[in-house]
Every structure is written in structure tokens, then in C-alpha cells.
Amino acid sequence: MKLTRWYPPDIKPVRKGWYECKCCNRRYFWSEESWDNTDNNGWPTKQNIEWRGLTKRPQPQKEQP
Ligand SMILES: [Zn+2]
């Protein structure tokens, strides 16, 4: 799995999912509207974080036998 570069707080992820926060090295969930960790037994959710994510790598399709 490859990681993206760090993005500044004013840039938001395109896709919903988990991202890493630079300052505390924790995972934050991007809900497409905000950083939201309410489902994830709780540290306070900050909105201005520097983040990075996993780059999407398409898997080669397996041929059926
Ligand atoms: Zn942090």
C-alpha cells in the first residue's frame, strides 16, 4: 500500500474513508462533509488537519478458469 503526500487542511479528500493525521499520527474518518470520528471511540475531532491517504491501486483482474 502506498501513501499519498501530505495535504494541507484546506484541501479535503475526494472519497469517504480513513486518513492519517500528520500531527498526531492517528486515523481520521472523512465523511465527505467533515472529519468525523464519532463511530470510533473517541478522541476529539479536529477539522483542520494535515492528512494523507492511501493511493488507489487497481488490482489486475483474475481470469476465470
Ligand atoms: Zn493530529
pLDDT of res. 28: 86
User: Could you tell me which residues come within 8 angstroms of residue 49 by beta carbon, excluding any fewer than 6 positions away?
Assistant: 9, 21, 22, 23, 28, 35
Amino acid symbol at 11: I
Report how far ligand 1's centroid is from the alpha carbon of 61 (Å): 37
Q: For residue 4, is pLDDT > 60? A: yes
Q: Is the pTM of this model over 0.75?
A: no
Residue ranges of domains in the chain: 1-26
pLDDT of residue 40: 58
Q: For 59-62, which contacts have Cβ atoms below 8 Å and span 24 or more sequence positions?
A: none
Task: Please check whether residue 9 is in contact with residue 48, taking contact to mean a CB–CB distance below 8 angstroms.
Answer: yes
What pLDDT does residue 34 have? Answer: 87
- pLDDT tens by residue, 16-63: 888 999 988 888 888 888 888 766 555 656 788 999 997 765 555 666
Q: Cα(25) to centroid of ligand 1, in Å?
A: 6
Q: What is the pLDDT of residue 22?
A: 92
Q: How many CA atoms lie within 13 A of 37 on its CB side?
A: 15
Ligand 1 center to 54 CA (angstroms) = 17
